[in-house]
A and B are shown apart, each in its own frame.
Chain A
Amino acid sequence: MRARLQDVLLPSSDPAMPGHFLPQGEKVARAQASRSPTRRALLGGLTAVSLASILPRPAIAQARPKVVVIGGGFGGATAARELKRAGLDVTLVEANATYVACPFSNEVIAGLRPLEGQFFGYDAIRREGIELVQATATRIDAEARRVTLADGAQLSYDRLVLAPGIELRFDALPGYGEDAAEQMPHAWKAGSQTLLLRRQLEAMEDGGTVVISVPPNPYRCPPGPYERASLIAHFLKTRKPRSKLLVLDAKDTFSKQRLFEQGWKELYSNRLEWVGLAGGGQVTAVEPATRTLVTDFARHGAAVANVIPPQRAGRIAEIAGVADRSGWCPIDPVTFESRLRAGIHVIGDSAIAGGMPKSAFSANAQAKVCAAAVVDLLADKEPATPKLINTCYSLVAPGYGISVAGVYRPRNGLLADVEGAGGTSPLEAPRQTRELEAAYAEAWFRTITADVFG
C-alpha cells in the first residue's frame, strides 16, 4: 500500500528545523520507536550487546552472523534484502517510515507527476523477515562493532553496511543555511522541498527569471540539475511563456552536455541560458531575503531560485570515521569495505566509487555486489572480482529521453570504466529513439523501485 501525502509530510513543530523533510521524519521515528513493534527489535539488539559482555565468546559465535544496514534508500534497502536472502540475520535501520525517491522528482517539480508517485514503504521488506528499526543511528563504535540509536538503544553486528546517502552542506555557500532553503529550495532530497519548489514555480508571475545554482563535482546525480533545468524550461514554455531560466554552474562541462544542449537549442532556445564556470557561473554567495544569487561578476535577482548546495556523505559516515577529508568514503572496490574502518562497508552516494556516478542505479548495483562480498567474508571466502553497470536516464522534455551508461570493474584500487563500453545516447538520432528512451526511463524506475521496495 502506498502511503498518503499527509502521513509523510507532517507539519514541523521544531523551530530549529523549519519544515525540512528529513529531520521531521527522524522526529516521527523517535516518537514512534517507543510504542511501535520495532521496540522489540531495539530490545533484541540491546540483549545481544549486554550478553556479549557477560557470556564467553563461543556462545555468541553460535548465532547466525548478524549484519546491520543503516539507511533504507536504494542502496541500503537493496543490501538488506540480498543479505537476508543469503541467510543472514539482518537489521535495517532507517529514520523515516516512508521513503521518498528522488529519481523522477524533477517531473514532480514540473507538474508532470504527483509527489505520491515517489513514496515507497517498507512492508515488503519487513515481510521478508528483515528486522526494520525505524530510528536514527547516532553513534558507531567500530572497535566494539556496535551501533547506537537516537533513543540510546544499541545494536551489535558482525559487519555493518552504511548507505546513508548525502548530507547537504549548509556551511559551504555563504548565506545558504537551512533557513535559506525555505526561500530558495534545494529540492535535492525529495519531499517537502520538492513541493516547495513546485509551488513557487506555480505561483511565480509570468515574465520572471528562474535561477538554478549547480555545485562543483562530486554531488548526487550528475545529470540531475540539467534534467531539472530542461523540465522547468518545459513548464515555463507551456505555462509561463514570457519567463526565463538561468543556470549558474560551478563547472565548465557536465554529464550528457552535448545531448542536453542539442535538446535545449531545439526546444527551449531563447528561454534557457546556461553559464559555466569560465563564463562566471559559480555562485559564491546567496541572499535569501531578496532571492539574490551572487557570482564574482554579477548579482542575479530571481523570481524563483533553486540552490543545489555542495554535498558530502551522510552524517553518520563521518561519525563512524569512514569519511575522509573530502567528506566522502574511500572503499575497496571489490567488497565496498571502508579503507578507514574494518568491518564497515559503504555503498551508494556516500562512497567514493571512482568512475561510477552517485545514482540510484549505482547504489542498487553496488548493494548487490557488496552483499555478496559480505556473505563471502563472513564465510571466510575470498570475494570474486565484480563488474557493475550504471545507467542514468534523463528527460529533456516529456517523451524525450537520453541516457549515459557505463560498465565498471576494479582497477588500481578504484572502480574504473571498462574501455570500449558505455557512453551516451547518439547525438544523431530520430525523435523516435528519444521517445523509446523516455519509455525505458519510466520502465527503469518501475523496475528498480519494485526490486528495492516491492
Chain B
Amino acid sequence: MRCLPVAFAVAAIPLATAAQEASGLRRVAPPGASSCSGCHASRPAAGLAVPWIAGRPAAEIADLMAAFRAGERSGTVMTRIARGFSPEETRAIAEWLEGQR
C-alpha cells in the first residue's frame, strides 16, 4: 500500500528537521572536498607524512592548489589531483577546509 498525500505532507516535517540539524553541525562539503580526507587526516595524528590541511586559511590552500595545478609546485600526487578541479571548485574546497577543525 502506498501512503496518502496527507501522510506525505506530515512525513516531510521530520525529514526537513533532520536535514536542518545536519546543516547546523557542519556546512555541506562542496564537490570533491570529501575525498581529500582519504589522505589528509581530518584529525591530527603523530608521525603522518601527508601534510595537515584542515583548518588552514582558505587563501593559503587555494594558492598551493593553484601552484600544483600549474606545475609550479612539485609533488608526488597533488599535481595529478589538483588538475581535476577548476579554480572555482578549488576555492570552494579551500573555504570549506578552513572551517574544518
Residues in A with CB closer than 8 Å to B12 are 380
Is A451 at the interface (CB under 8 A from chain B)? Answer: yes
Ranked nearest first, the 3 interchain pairs of A and B with the lowest CB-CB distance are A407-B84, A421-B84, A379-B19
> With A403-B76, A421-B84 as given contacts, are A61 and B10 in contact (CB-CB < 8 Å)?
yes
Q: Is the CB of B50 within 8 A of A64?
A: no
Extra pairs beyond A368-B29, A421-B83 (20, CB < 8 Å): A57-B11, A61-B7, A61-B11, A65-B18, A85-B25, A365-B34, A368-B34, A369-B34, A372-B34, A379-B18, A386-B32, A403-B77, A406-B84, A418-B84, A433-B76, A443-B39, A443-B50, A444-B39, A444-B50, A451-B37
Q: Of residues 324 to 379 in A, which have CB atoms within 8 Å of B's CB atoms?
A: 361, 364-365, 368-369, 372, 375-376, 378-379
Q: Which of B67-90 contact A (CB under 8 A)?
A: 76-77, 80-85, 89
Chain A 414-438 interface mask (CB, 8 Å, partner B; 1/0)? 0000101111010000000100110
A40 interface contact, C-beta 8 A: no
Q: Is B40 positioned at the interface, with any CB of A under 8 Å from its CB?
A: yes
User: A318 an interface residue at 8 Å Cβ cutoff?
Assistant: no
Contact of A86 with B by CB under 8 A: yes
Q: How far is the CA of A423 from the CA of B84 in the complex (A)?
A: 11
| Residues of chain A within 8 A of B36, CB atoms compared | 389
CB distance from A50 to the nearest CB of B (A): 16
Instruction: Pick the contact of B76: A407, A423, A437 (CB < 8 A).
Output: A437
Chain A's closest residue to B21 (CB) is: A87
Which of B31, B38, B43, B48 is within 8 Å of A385, CB to CB? B31
Q: How far is the CB of A430 from chain B (nearest CB, A)?
A: 11
Q: Tell me whether A319 is interfacial, beta carbon within 8 Å.
A: no
A residues lining the B interface (CB < 8 Å): 56-58, 61-65, 85-88, 361, 364-365, 368-369, 372, 375-376, 378-381, 384-391, 403, 405-407, 409, 418, 420-423, 425, 433, 436-437, 439-440, 442-444, 446-448, 450-451
Which residues of chain B are within 8 angstroms of A386 by Cβ–Cβ distance? 31-32
Q: Which residues of B contact A391 (CB under 8 A)?
A: 38-39, 77, 81
User: Do A65 and B35 form a contact, CB below 8 Å, given A447-B40, A450-B43?
Assistant: no
Instruction: Give the distance in Å from the alpha carbon of A386 to the alpha carbon of B34 in the complex.
Output: 10
Known: A65-B15, A437-B76. A389 touches B50 (CB 8 A): no
The answer to whether B19 touches A387, judged by C-beta atoms less than 8 angstroms apart, is no
Cα A422 to Cα B78 in complex, Å, equals 9
Q: Are A388 and B80 CB-contacts (below 8 A) given A446-B45, A447-B48?
A: no
- Contacts of B2-17 to chain A: CB distance below 8 A: 3-4, 6-7, 10-16
Nearest chain A residue, comparing its CB with the CB of B29: A372
A61-B4 Cα distance, complex, nearest whole Å: 12
Q: Are A57 and B45 in touch, CB under 8 angstroms?
A: no
B59 on the interface (CB 8 Å rule)? no
Task: Give CA–CA (A376, B41) in the complex, Å.
Answer: 26
- Inter-chain contacts of A65 with B (CB < 8 A): 14-15, 18
Residues of B within 8 A of A440 (CB): 39, 49-50, 76-77
Q: Which residue of B lies closest to A409 (CB)?
A: B31
Q: How far is the CA of A85 from the CA of B31 in the complex (A)?
A: 18
Whether A451 contacts B38 in the complex (CB less than 8 A), given A65-B18, A405-B80, comes out as: yes
CB distance from A418 to the nearest CB of B (A): 4
Chain A residues within an 8 Å CB radius of B31: 384-387, 409
Contact of A380 with B32 at beta-carbon distance under 8 Å, contacts A447-B45, A447-B48 already known? no
Q: Do residues A57 and B7 form an inter-chain contact, with CB atoms below 8 A?
A: yes
Q: Which residue of A lies closest to B83 (CB)?
A: A421
Residue pair B34, A421 in contact (C-beta under 8 Å): no
B89→A405 contact, CB < 8 A: no
Distance in angstroms from A63 CB to nearest chain B CB is 7
